[in-house]
Structure 1
Amino acid sequence: MEFKPNTLYHVYNRGNNRQKIFFNYGNYLYFIKKIEKYLLIHCDLLAYCLMPNHFHFLIEPKEKSQEKEINKAFQIILSSYSQAINKQENRTGSLFQQHTKAKSLEHYGLYAETCFHYIHQNPLKAGLVKEIERWEFSSVKEYTLTRNEKLCNHEKAHLVLNIPKDRSEFLKLSKQVLSEKMKEFIF
């Protein structure tokens, strides 16, 4: 994957053959700890969502981070997580699809803001929750101040993406339905 500083990226991957990658609550927490340990030293995380069979991140590489360091971080996260799940589930083989996607948002204008909200709408669109703030494994709970832990760089998100700081305004904007055209553009 190619990464440049001061550029936002939508990073995503899913289970091989669209299979589950998270089997229980602890798996999500374990994956999040890997993100904290390996990715956050190289990137600012602006949004994330962990779904039963895939994940999404909106990241911006830190100024001094090298492309190879970020790629190595993703390699370590996915490889070590896969090994743990294979052991837990008594399985072998690849857990994730072969290539993690990293889409640069450098020349897309409002796409970054739309992508931010799209990431948070995933559980709602998949029918896992009736309200986006009910999904435990996304950054919505951070932005609505219903979770104490903070993985995301809120200041950068508010500045770069024009994300409202007010909880109710944030939820109102995040719940708006994406147009069909934007859905096609995103994924």
Structure 2
Amino acid sequence: MPGRLEPFINNYVYHVFNKTLNSQRLFNAEYSEIFLPTVNYYRSAKARVSLSHLKRLAPSVQENLLKIIEQSEFFRVEILAFCLMPTHYHFLLKQILDNGILKFMTDLGNSFTRYYNIRNDREGPLFIPRFKSVLIKNEEQLKHVCRYIHLNPYSGEIISELAELENYRWSSYREYLSKNQESLSNPQIIMKLFGNDRLRFKKFNSDQADYQRSLEYVKYAEKWL
């Protein structure tokens, strides 16, 4: 991966996104099912063996390692929001450890590309070599970028009705509306901006009059993707 000009700063939040080479439609249900556990694994600084190697270890060893991986005290990054689309993906990431975002994105991309290439008897990169990132500078921007990420399946016409967002499996939107504590994302930071009111959060996401404001906050992504 080419060197990055901008540094990532601990405890700051970034909109991070990347796309497939030649706009390949990659993220169907099968590969999304593989990608998200890979995300979960490599966000941890304790992911010191490759995921493919982990799967070859004895079940008891795997179980013990995965328990450590799940402990938030070892996270390189905190995932505030995410969404997979057929040709690209979005994250809202808070960097926890030094170089956390870069290491997470590098390990994630390398691991998933290796898996895909072996599965499909191919060689070479799968994603654009240098992912894009934008620093989130204030709470208003944070709300709108989160909204933009969650509305991607609707604005990209993957689903036809806003109500279907709650059933879109490859996004953190469902985790924001659920009381289930087991989730890939941590909605708490953004939900606090809505007084921890799920109905208020849902209304903000479905308010068409406000949608253009979200586009203004992320027009950099619209151009690139």
TM-score by length of 2: 0.72
Question: Residues of 2 paired with 1:33 and 1:149: CA distance?
Answer: 13
Instruction: Report the equivalent of 1:152.
Output: 185
Cα deviations across residues 74-96 of structure 1 (Å, max 9, x unaligned)?
A: 11110110111122233322110
Question: Structure 2 matches for 1:59-98, cutoff 5 A?
Answer: 59-62=93-96, 65-67=97-99, 69-98=100-129
Counterpart for residue 45 of structure 1: 79
Match of 1:26 in 2: 30
Structure 1 residue identity aligned to 2:20:
G
The 1:163–1:29 alpha-carbon spacing in structure 2 relative to 1, beyond 3 Å, is farther
Q: Which amino acid aligns with 1:53?
A: T
Contact 2:81 2:91 (8 Å CA) reproduced: yes
Structure whose residues are more often helix by fraction? 2
Q: Deviations over 1:53-72 (max 9, x none)?
A: 1000001112xx111x4312
Aligned mates of 1:174, 1:58 — CA distance in 2: 16
In the other structure, the counterpart of 1:113 is: 143
CA distance in 2, matches of 1:16, 1:147: 35
Instruction: Give the letter aligned to residue 91 of structure 1.
Output: R
Decide whether the 8 Å contact of 2:191 with 2:197 is kept in 1: no
In the other structure, the counterpart of 1:124 is: 154
Q: 1:13 to 1:185 in 2, by over 3 A?
A: closer
Instruction: Give 1 or 2 for the bigger CA radius of gyration.
Output: 2
The aligned residue for residue 70 of structure 2 is: none
Unaligned runs of 5+ in 2: 45-74
- Distance in structure 2 (CA, Å) of the matches to 1:72 and 1:49: 20
| Compared CA separation, residues 163 and 185, structure 1 to 2 (3 A) | farther
For the residue of structure 2 that corresponds to 1:111, the secondary structure is helix
Contact kept, 8 Å, 1:11 with 1:101, in 2: the verdict is yes
Letter aligned with residue 176 of structure 2? Y
Secondary structure of the residue aligned to 1:110 is: helix
Paired with 2:180 and 2:158, the residues of 1 have a C-alpha distance of 19
Whole-Å separation in 1 of the counterparts to 2:194 and 2:39 = 23
The one of 6, 21, 30 equivalent to 1:16 is: 21
Distance 2:11 2:221 in 1: 20
Partner of 1:7: 12
Tell me the distance in 2 between the aligned counterparts of 1:96 and 1:137: 18
Report the CA distance between 1:5 and its aligned residue. Answer: 1.5
CA-atom RMSD, angstroms? Answer: 2.1
Query: Taking structure 1 as the reference length, what is the TM-score of the superposition?
Result: 0.86
